[in-house]
Amino acid sequence: MFTGALSKMKVELHDEVHYTLRLSSDLCVNDFIGSSIVIEWSGKITCSSCGKNTKKSFGDGFCYPCFISAPEATECTIRPELCRAHLGEGRDPEWENTHHNVPHFVYLAASDTVKVGVTRAGQIPTRWIDQGAKSGIRLAETPNRYEAGRLEVALKAFFTDKTNWQRMLKNELDSSIDLVEEKWHLHDQLPSDLTEFFTEDDEVIEINYPVLNYPEKVKSLGFDKTPRIEGRLTGIKGQYLIFENGEVLNIRKHTGYVVTIEI
């Protein structure tokens, strides 16, 4: 039996992605694919920032006071073009300086379509795995989050920045996508003040997920309506657990929920 507050699963890319839940002790979730598991919510939620109990979770597991004040929950985590860390400003300038005023990558990731996104250096391929991408490529490297956001805004004219979670979990892929070709086609479409950040690194990283079989239809589960979730685990993709009947549980969405897992 494993007990603790849920948080985003730790991921490692080998031949396929390895997933670890960090609870009372580390739980390698891959080991239990094909087995029946029970996850029961205690009714308790703790804030991922301050650790206090909260009746409702906001954003990535914050209590409301932290959601409106913690630097980890600042608006530029979602809209990097609004970042002001490079100006020495923000909710917590010291935190912003070490997390946002540092090199960032703008990337392209492929699944059923091409997605554009931004992440800190060192978060590749973790960021792509969390989104359930089939493959990804570094497009540009910028000195800070603001410049990455400025480039991302321009790229939204060509590609989405959203993941269709249902298609991702059904493994609907577009095998015709060529990320290297897409990258350099964009280079010819953008102004020079943005293309100066393009990287010559054209490595495409392929990602395989530990899934026995993908569902034809998916149904999202949540502890607020279903405090006890049980079934045969058939796979993991993105930050979702996939069960035999097509039901799926988004672990990241339930950050801070205190649960007990029986296997």
Band of pLDDT at residue 196, cut at 50, 70 and 90: very high
Q: State residue 16's pLDDT score.
A: 96
| Alpha-carbon Rg for the chain in angstroms | 19
User: What confidence score (pLDDT) does residue 37 get?
Assistant: 97
Contact residues for 53 (Cβ-Cβ < 8 A; gap 6+): 44, 45, 46, 47
Please check the confidence at residue 29 and state whether its pLDDT lies above 90. yes
- Cα dihedral 179/137/9/162 (nearest 10): -50
**Per-residue pLDDT, 161:** 87
What's the average model confidence in pLDDT over 17-40? 96
**pLDDT tens, position by position, 30-55:** 999 999 999 999 999 999 999 999 99
Phi, psi at residue 148, to the nearest 5°? -65, -40
**Of residues 140, 97, 93, the one with CA closest to residue 119:** 140
pTM, two decimal places: 0.94
Is residue 10 within 8 Å of residue 31, measured between CB atoms?
no
The DSSP code for 60 is: T
The whole-chain average pLDDT of the chain stands at 96
pLDDT digits (tens, 9 = 90+) for 134-192: 999 999 999 999 999 999 999 999 999 889 999 999 999 999 999 999 999 999 999 99
The pLDDT confidence band at residue 24, using thresholds 50, 70 and 90, is: confident
Is the pLDDT at 87 greater than 90, yes or no? yes
Closest CA to 121 of 7, 196, 197, 22: 197
